[in-house]
């Protein structure tokens, strides 16, 4: 069974731009969670989607948003990028909420 995939793997943007990241979960998994990983803050929860509904949201500004499609694929969007948004963005999928999460390889975003 194919693992969680994320596209693109690397991205360079400038301040003020917006970016969309994509996550395809493991086949049969309906829950997708997103995390931001930085050296200083570690792994921080962004949001969780299940059956196209946002079930939980972390403590991030409204510039961070996401959605989930009927095939369970998920996207996250960051608008008005700031230098501090440079990070590795990881998504993780699970069969359902409260189940074991499996991570994708991440998208490394650099904001200049």
Partner 1 sequence: GENVEQHPSTLSVQEGDSAVIKCTYSDSASNYFPWYKQELGKRPQLIIDIRSNVGEKKDQRIAVTLNKTAKHFSLHITETQPEDSAVYFCAARGLGGSARQLTFGSGTQLTVLP
**Residue ranges of the alpha helices (H) in 1-112?**
none
Q: Which is nearer to partner 1, 4 or 87 (CB)?
A: 4
**Beta carbon of residue 17, minimum distance to partner 1 (angstroms, whole number):** 25
Other CB atoms within 10 A of residue 61 CB: 11
**Beta carbon of residue 105, minimum distance to partner 1 (angstroms, whole number):** 5
Q: In whole angstroms, what separates CA 58 from the centre of its chain? A: 12
CA 23 – CA 32 distance, rounded (Å): 8
Q: In whole angstroms, what separates CA 8 from the centre of its chain? A: 12
101 binds partner 1 (CB under 8 A): yes
Judged by CB under 8 A, which stretch of 10-18, 21-29, 55-63, 69-77 contacts partner 1? 55-63
Interface ranges with partner 1 (CB under 8 A) = 4, 33, 35, 42-45, 48, 55-56, 58, 90, 97-98, 100-106
């Amino acid at each position: 069974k194919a693992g969680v995939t994320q596209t693109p793997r690397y991205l360079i943007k400038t301040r003020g731009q917006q970016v969309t990241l994509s996550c395809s979960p493991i086949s049969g998994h309906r829950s997708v969670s997103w995390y931001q990983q930085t050296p200083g803050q570690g792994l921080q929860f962004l949001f969780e989607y299940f059956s196209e509904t946002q079930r939980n949201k972390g403590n991030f500004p409204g510039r961070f948003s996401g959605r989930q499609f009927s095939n369970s694929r998920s996207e996250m969007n960051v608008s008005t990028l700031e230098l501090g948004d440079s990070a590795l963005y990881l998504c993780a999928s699970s069969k359902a909420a409260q189940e074991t999460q499996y991570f994708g390889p991440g998208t490394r975003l650099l904001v200049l």
